Amino acid sequence: MSKLPRNVAFCPCQSGRSYAACCRPFHLGEAVPQTVEALMRSRYSAFALHLTDYIWSTWHPDYRPTLHDLRADHGVQWRRLEVLGADEGPSHGVVEFRAYWRTSTDRGVVHERSSFVKEGGLWYYTVGMELA
């Protein structure tokens, strides 16, 4: 977590709150997201800030890529997040969102419905279904 920035005024997940009052405690391991939306937002923020270890550790072990693959830098910058809906039960949840990305030569939007499971009191991302 040596790359964890201290000077991000607004959280990259676009909650409108400061990073320190939003996703940073999750990234530091000081708190655990209690809802699937909070976990999804913190994972998006981690993508935006290139906090690969956090992305990996919140990805269910049965579904996640290798840490090495995840660390590959694709030159993608995540610019904006819109959470369209979230629904959760005791052990399963889904979040639908649009995430806007940019590279030096291209830009686009990922529209996804992410699935989550709760195990041992912790939410984990499993898979995402890309939507039109």
Residue 58 binds Zn ion, judged by CB under 5 A: no
Q: Which stretch binds Zn ion (CB under 5 A): 9-17, 28-36, 70-78, 85-93?
A: 9-17
Question: Cα separation of 84 and 76, whole Å?
Answer: 22
Q: Smaller CB distance to Zn ion: residue 11 or 104?
A: 11
Question: Cα separation of 113 and 84, whole Å?
Answer: 9
Phi, psi of 110, rounded to the nearest 5 degrees: -100, 120
Instruction: Candidates 1, 4, 6, 15: give the one binding Zn ion (CB under 5 A).
Output: 15
Residues 18-47 that bind Zn ion (CB under 5 A): 22-23, 41, 45
Q: Smaller CB distance to Zn ion: residue 122 or 129?
A: 122
Q: Which two tokens stand for residue 112?
A: 């996804």
Min dist. Cβ of residue 132 to Zn ion (A): 27
Burial 42-76 (b: 16+ CB within 10 A, else e): bbbbbbbbebbebbbebbbeeebeeeeeeeeeeeb
Instruction: Candidates 1, 7, 10, 13: give the one binding Zn ion (CB under 5 A).
Output: 13
Residues that bind Zn ion in the complex, under the rule CB under 5 A: 11, 13, 15, 22-23, 41, 45
